[in-house]
Amino acid sequence: MAVWKKALIGAAALIVVVMGGTLVYAKVSTDNQPERLTLSTTTPGKGTGATGDDPTATTGTGSSTAGEPTLDGTWSVKPGSGSVAGYRVKEVLNGIDAEAVGRTDAVTGSITISGTTVTKADFTVDMASVTSDQDRRDGQFRGRIMDTASNPTSSFELTKPIPLDGAPGLGKSFSTTATGRLTLKGTTRSVTLDLTAQRTATGMEIVADHDVKFADFGIDPPDFGFVKTEDHGLIEVKLVLTGP
């Protein structure tokens, strides 16, 4: 009986340690993750590069007619601009929800606007540079999950023009959708992204996201042993663009 009693006490202690460790991991994993990507706070008028207090005055980016700004031309991502791309995935650790976020600033591409219509957009992300707060997770991501050795990049190419409701003034945001070809792990599918954009004093910002089902792109649901994820995840992108 003494042996069984000790065994039961040992098992109970192990359960407490495991569950305690699980709770700590889940809390740290969730608390340490970056917030969702959002547009920068921009105040129209003074301090934004606008002329006087008129949020629709020319800023030197693009051209203007009769005080109304135009977005005509090609807007590009510049190195070190603050553009970011990555993923956000719910993890399940022994029934406890946590969250994993991986990101990279290795984003390139541009959009072309004619009048008040986005006619072209192409963006590419260096997948091998995506990192999170866990080296083990990153190793799995670059290896079994995304196979970045064979598929070093992911991309999005617009296939349907995006009409804009005029040219937005400084700090004025608007929401729309973008339909195009998304390529992940060598598989390309048509998707529609939700996006929000705004004109800034130095260019334009766009924040977009899309919920991806891993199976649609031949991606096995990530499994890190004691940590598993859901069968889908959110792609997040923030583009900081410089105008013509």
Q: How confident is the model at residue 1 (pLDDT cuts 50, 70, 90)?
A: low
Q: What are 153's strand-pairing partners?
A: 126
Q: Is the pLDDT of residue 159 over 70?
A: yes
User: 150: which residues sit within 8 A by CB, 6+ positions away?
Assistant: 186
Q: Is the pLDDT of residue 239 over 70?
A: yes
Q: How confident is the model at residue 97 (pLDDT cuts 50, 70, 90)?
A: confident
N- to C-terminal Cα separation, the chain = 82
Q: Is the pLDDT of residue 2 over 90?
A: no
- Per-residue pLDDT tens over the stretch 161-219: 999 876 667 778 889 999 999 999 999 999 999 999 998 888 999 999 999 999 999 99
Name the residue among 205, 188, 187 with its Cα closest to residue 196: 205
Highest mean pLDDT among 33-42, 177-186, 226-235: 177-186
- Residue 83 or residue 244, greater confidence: 83
Q: How confident is the model at residue 224 (pLDDT cuts 50, 70, 90)?
A: low
Q: Is the pLDDT of residue 138 over 80?
A: yes
Tokens coding 193 = 């992204």
Distance of CA 215 to the CA centre of its chain: 19
The amino acid that residue 199 corresponds to is R
**In the chain, % of residues over pLDDT 90:** 50
Beta strand 84-93 with 96-104 is antiparallel
Q: What are 141's strand-pairing partners?
A: none
Supply the pTM of this predicted model: 0.76
Beta strand 117-126 with 107-114 is antiparallel
> What is the model's pLDDT at position 91?
81
Classify residue 29 as exposed, middle or buried by CB count within 10 Å of its CB (0-12, 13-18, 19+): buried
The amino acid that residue 214 corresponds to is F
Angstrom CA distances, 3 to 6, 8, 9, 10, 46, stand at 5, 9, 10, 10, 78
